[in-house]
Structure 1
Amino acid sequence: ENVVHQQLLVYATLDTVYKTNSIDDEYQHLLCANDFVPSRVTKLSTLQENSTIRFTLINGNLPVAVQVFTILNDEEYSIEFHCKHEITIERLRQIACKLLNVKSEFYQLTIDDVILDDNEMSLDAIDPDSTNIQLHLVCKAVMNSLITYENKTITLPCNKETLVSSVLDQACSSFCITREETCVYTLYALDADQTQIDSAMTVNDICGLFPEKQTKIPLLMKKNRVLKKH
């Protein structure tokens, strides 16, 4: 097989890959993870597992166009990709969460307001003849972290076992923050004492800082510079 290695900026879209390689999407498409074709507007950063993203150039396209809609922080988002009829609901959910940059454990797919809770069911079982499927990705978490950073607040789903380090990683990703060695980001509970939160703590530990039971946990994220030792 012919393998081409290219370096692209992480905030580039798949459209850049198509243009760089002169791929005509009337005839060929880029297959990802051997089971789905992302749309050209997909950000490369959402496809990353590590520093390398691998695509396979295929003739034509996969037969089913899937659109997934969701609401994040009161804004509506949608993504689109192509796949085969045999794909499972579980795999669809994984792909949707990956492309929308959310934690899959807190979301479920619905179609026409019906929850798709049989993870092993395939698209074939929903509609064997359809070539266009519209789904919604719905948050099922009963707890949320409300994180404020530089006068902007986002909502991230969580549960009592969620690690603070995971909340922090997701917050940095949602705020489009690139981690630097010269900076460290810290969370503070917006309780009476504005307590600094250790990254090894869990959400349940944070709940203990508040006098009443919390389902929406207010947190503040701060950026601190790290002084280098000479």
Structure 2
Amino acid sequence: MKISSLLNNENILKQLNLTDVSSDDCVLILKEPNEITLTKDDLQKPISTYATVDNELIHFQISISVQITKHDDKKQIKIPLSNRNITIEQLLNLTEKSIDVYKYLATNDTKRIINSNEILSNLNKTKFILVKENETCLISIKKSNNVQQVDNNEKLQRFISFATITDINKENQEDILHKYLMYSNDFVPSKNTQLISFLSVSPIQFTMINENLPVTVIIQNKEINKSIQFNCEDSITVQRLCEIACQLCCLNNKYYCLSMDDDTELTDSTLSLKDITDENATEISFKLVSTASLYCSINYSNQIIKLPCCQDTLLMTIIKEVLQILNKSEDNMDMYELIALDDDRTEIDFNCKLDDVLALFPNGLTTISFELKNKGD
């Protein structure tokens, strides 16, 4: 009999209360004479391989392999556990990382931050994400628009900032199944929208509604090669559509306007959807168009992001926008350096204005090129 059969024996797993754990998440340890963690190759050997005397008992221990991925650098930490009756706080301590820096564990499947006093065995999970506080955000889900009922109907949860609406729905599927999350009382973001788009307020407030809003809006921005989608009422104005598009694309709405999909300009921002579409239209497409005459082009790891700006724009502002688009936390800005792609590849301070850099480039240039790189690369 192969040793691997021990991990697939339902009776053994039932006695050890491990029926909710995949055998792939288990580690088999030989206890005597020295404690040895068996490899995949070892598991294919017959059990008799480790018998030193005929009919002698061979002592094995089945441990759970908890896999924790650090969110900032994707490094993995594997922790074998013989006992799952520990709290999340105790599991955090076992990572041997500073709890003052890495404060939270999140579920791998929904990105929800787990309360420190939750018991691991109650979660039925073995894969987690280790995150810093500045990599998380607080969300509120209201079950009613009635302000007087907020206290009784509000649900607060913390998620990783790059979690999506899909993650929220999955985490709260018992409550949200066949319902929709409305933001700012005027639009329903698509399921792939990330929470980082809403970080300007805390908590991020959603209202649960039974039916989706009637008009699907699709807005394309070619500069960052991104398309966003959301639902709204046909009474919403062009100006508000532009604000929503910039928010979901992590762009500064100071430099953008909307055009129709056929490039027709929308010069009157007070017009509503019902003013510019057919009465029965349920889907409409727009383009998000830059109104700027000056641009910054940022190259990071072979990705090029082109953003509109003006001479008074702080480079710090540009870098924050770039990091949001790249799904990277702006709180880790000290990890990066900015190089102007002039003849001398001049290193630029983030606190400089773009006007301070223009003298490095030929007169009349409308796109100023930089490289953003990790320090030490």
Instruction: Please tell me the TM-score bracket, short chain as reference.
Output: 0.7 to 0.9
1:9 aligns with 2:160: yes
Alpha-carbon distance between aligned partners in 1 of 2:263 and 2:333, rounded to the nearest angstrom: 47
Q: Do 1:85 and 1:128's aligned partners in 2 also have CA atoms closer than 8 Å?
A: no
Give the one of 321, 344, 349 matched to 1:198. Answer: 349
The one-letter amino acid of 1:95's match is: I
Partner of 1:228: none
Partner of 1:64: 215
Give deviations 1:32-72, integer Å, cap 9, x for gaps: 01110111121122232244211011121212111112213
Partner of 2:288: 137
Partner of 2:265: 115
Give the one of 175, 183, 196 matched to 1:32. Answer: 183
Alpha-carbon distance between aligned partners in 2 of 1:212 and 1:189, rounded to the nearest angstrom: 15
Larger Rg: 2
Alpha-carbon distance between aligned partners in 2 of 1:60 and 1:30, rounded to the nearest angstrom: 10
1:98 Cα offset (Å)? 1.2
Give the one of 126, 149, 162 matched to 2:276. Answer: 126
Alpha-carbon distance between aligned partners in 1 of 2:362 and 2:209, rounded to the nearest angstrom: 58
Per the alignment, do residues 161 and 17 of structure 1 end up closer, same or farther by CA in structure 2, a change over 3 Å counting? same
The one-letter amino acid of 2:324's match is: S
Partner of 1:86: 235
Alpha-carbon distance between aligned partners in 2 of 1:161 and 1:58, rounded to the nearest angstrom: 43
Structure 1: gaps of 5 or more residues? 226-230
Structure 2: gaps of 5 or more residues? 1-148
Give deviations 1:120-148, integer Å, cap 9, x for gaps: 11112112612221111122322221212
Alpha-carbon distance between aligned partners in 1 of 2:331 and 2:239, rounded to the nearest angstrom: 34
Alpha-carbon distance between aligned partners in 2 of 1:202 and 1:182, rounded to the nearest angstrom: 17
Secondary structure class of the residue paired with 2:155? coil
Alpha-carbon distance between aligned partners in 2 of 1:84 and 1:35, rounded to the nearest angstrom: 7
Identity %: 35
Alpha-carbon distance between aligned partners in 2 of 1:131 and 1:18, rounded to the nearest angstrom: 24
Partner of 1:20: 171
- Structure with the higher helix share, 1 or 2: 2
Partner of 1:98: 247
Q: Do 2:196 and 2:324's aligned partners in 1 also have CA atoms closer than 8 Å?
A: no
Q: Do 1:163 and 1:201's aligned partners in 2 also have CA atoms closer than 8 Å?
A: yes
1:153-168 correspondence to structure 2 within 5 Å:
153-168=304-319
The one-letter amino acid of 1:168's match is: I
Per the alignment, do residues 194 and 83 of structure 1 end up closer, same or farther by CA in structure 2, a change over 3 Å counting? same
Secondary structure class of the residue paired with 1:162? coil
Cα RMSD, aligned residues only: 2.1
Alpha-carbon distance between aligned partners in 1 of 2:304 and 2:275, rounded to the nearest angstrom: 40
Alpha-carbon distance between aligned partners in 2 of 1:82 and 1:195, rounded to the nearest angstrom: 45
Alpha-carbon distance between aligned partners in 2 of 1:169 and 1:182, rounded to the nearest angstrom: 8
The one-letter amino acid of 1:99's match is: L
Q: Do 1:183 and 1:223's aligned partners in 2 also have CA atoms closer than 8 Å?
A: no
Secondary structure class of the residue paired with 1:208? helix
Secondary structure class of the residue paired with 1:183? helix
Give deviations 1:132-174, integer Å, cap 9, x for gaps: 2111112232222121233433222212221111112112223
Alpha-carbon distance between aligned partners in 2 of 1:219 and 1:181, rounded to the nearest angstrom: 19
Higher relative contact order (CA 8 A, sep 6+): 1
TM-score in terms of structure 2 length = 0.54
The one-letter amino acid of 1:65's match is: T
1:220 aligns with 2:371: yes
Partner of 1:48: 199
Q: Do 1:207 and 1:213's aligned partners in 2 also have CA atoms closer than 8 Å?
A: no
Partner of 1:148: 299
Alpha-carbon distance between aligned partners in 2 of 1:105 and 1:52, rounded to the nearest angstrom: 25
The one-letter amino acid of 1:53's match is: I
Alpha-carbon distance between aligned partners in 1 of 2:357 and 2:194, rounded to the nearest angstrom: 34
Secondary structure class of the residue paired with 1:105? helix
Per the alignment, do residues 122 and 53 of structure 1 end up closer, same or farther by CA in structure 2, a change over 3 Å counting? same
